[in-house]
Chains A and B, each alone.
Chain A
């Protein structure tokens, strides 16, 4: 199981508390995790990545194992600690707005 920590507003939107867990079949990449996340929580479609361009929304970042993976390809394999569930993938809202 892949562990994902969402920003508070997306947890509210998805009606979940704490971290969420999703199954990924095949290589564990950001794209695959988001596919699984959106399949389980369809209300998150379009909130993390654009539904048309599939690009990450500008004010969100992907952190894992103390690395910023935001600019990696969505097809890049995530660290083994994420794939094994030892560490969570963090979807982080940029600190902005004043």
Chain B
């Protein structure tokens, strides 16, 4: 019988939640790495028992952990993230030049085919890769040295590379997103990059249609149709049907088009999920009601999913890496909150229930579907 393994990163450790395909009874282990911030952990599609975790701390810096047994045991691997060559400068919050400084790994994206190859998105924004299971990390400097990079500015959470999507149908095509530079695409395995932000409109920057400078919060794709991308921008939910060459807004009907995560149903590439948040200064749901919104038409027509979610006095946030789907049928949808709840729906979002209610603030949620 199939199983699911939910990997949860929190402000104070990692947790592993497992269940059978019914997704009703959950076994919870953790905290792993208690007391440390776990921005992200993710399993290899090529070897599901191979997991990688980004462990960091304001005191002790960055550590990378690797498991070869599905999260039961862990070992530290390499944690040296050194920018390749001259680091140059980006803009600081006040507009002055600021040298690139490594802060932490936000996102780990294992290769689709090789468990020893992993991409790491870091703050200050850059893309690194290991091909030896995490022992050594090497920057793909073409992104950080893009001609637009000196104009990039950090978002409120830092200048982070938070999203990495690997195109399963076109080896070498990589999409990334950076707050607050925007989305970028490489067609040569990370050697060169081009901004893919045409059609985005951001009122908070001098030229709302600028080539870079957009605060992209998250991008998602369905692996069967990787040319179609969905984006939750700071404000606006967007869609691209040409691999990011152009975007159009599909927010229509949402109570707020601000938010962080966006994800796609495992079996229907036109069904997408967002969690509207009231505003960028009020990081909580509108009206104190925690609602996932689902569109079955790839955007613009949205329905509120509320069954099992708190509909009064709820003021949590759902961060950009804290939503995921499994590939069972019906599709399971999962998200974690800054209040420490991890909610699961085993029926595509119609009904929800908390797996856990009282974890530390949740930063990331990933799901593995296991045979």
Listed in ascending order, the chain A residues whose CB lies under 8 Å from chain B are 7, 9-10, 13, 42-43, 45-48, 50-52, 57, 59-60, 93-94, 96-97
Interface size classification for chain B: 10 to 19
**Across-interface contacts of B102 in A (CB, < 8 A):** 52
**Across-interface contacts of B58 in A (CB, < 8 A):** 59, 96-97
Chain A binding surface, main DSSP class? loop
Q: Which of B75-83, B106-114, B295-303 touches A?
A: B75-83
Write the nearest CB–CB distance from B167 to chain A, whole angstroms. Answer: 32
Contact B61–A9 (Cβ < 8 Å): no
Listed in ascending order, the chain B residues whose CB lies under 8 Å from chain A are 35-36, 57-63, 76, 79-80, 82, 102
Contact B82–A13 (Cβ < 8 Å): no
Write the nearest CB–CB distance from B226 to chain A, whole angstroms. Answer: 35
Task: Please measure, in the bound complex, the distance between the C-alpha atom of A60 and the C-alpha atom of B102, giving whole angstroms.
Answer: 18
Contact A9–B82 (Cβ < 8 Å): no
Task: Please measure, in the bound complex, the distance between the C-alpha atom of A51 and the C-alpha atom of B59, giving whole angstroms.
Answer: 14
Contact B80–A13 (Cβ < 8 Å): no
Task: Please measure, in the bound complex, the distance between the C-alpha atom of A50 and the C-alpha atom of B35, giving whole angstroms.
Answer: 20
Partner pick for A57 among B60, B79, B80, CB 8 A cutoff: B60
Task: Please measure, in the bound complex, the distance between the C-alpha atom of A84 and the C-alpha atom of B79, giving whole angstroms.
Answer: 33
Partner pick for B61 among A43, A57, A97, CB 8 A cutoff: A57
Count contacts between A and B, CB distance < 8 Å: 45
Closest to B35 in A: A9
Contact A45–B36 (Cβ < 8 Å): no
Q: Which of A7, A51, A57, A60 has the most chain B CB atoms closer than 10 A to its own CB?
A: A51
Contact A47–B61 (Cβ < 8 Å): yes
Task: Please measure, in the bound complex, the distance between the C-alpha atom of A9 and the C-alpha atom of B55, giving whole angstroms.
Answer: 12
**Across-interface contacts of B82 in A (CB, < 8 A):** 51-52
Contact B76–A43 (Cβ < 8 Å): yes
Q: Which of B35, B58, B102 has the most chain A CB atoms closer than 10 A to its own CB?
A: B58
Task: Please measure, in the bound complex, the distance between the C-alpha atom of A60 and the C-alpha atom of B59, giving whole angstroms.
Answer: 7
Contact B59–A9 (Cβ < 8 Å): yes
**Across-interface contacts of A93 in B (CB, < 8 A):** 59-60
Contact A9–B36 (Cβ < 8 Å): yes
Q: Which of A13, A48, A59, A97 has the most chain B CB atoms closer than 10 A to its own CB?
A: A13
**Across-interface contacts of B61 in A (CB, < 8 A):** 46-47, 50, 57
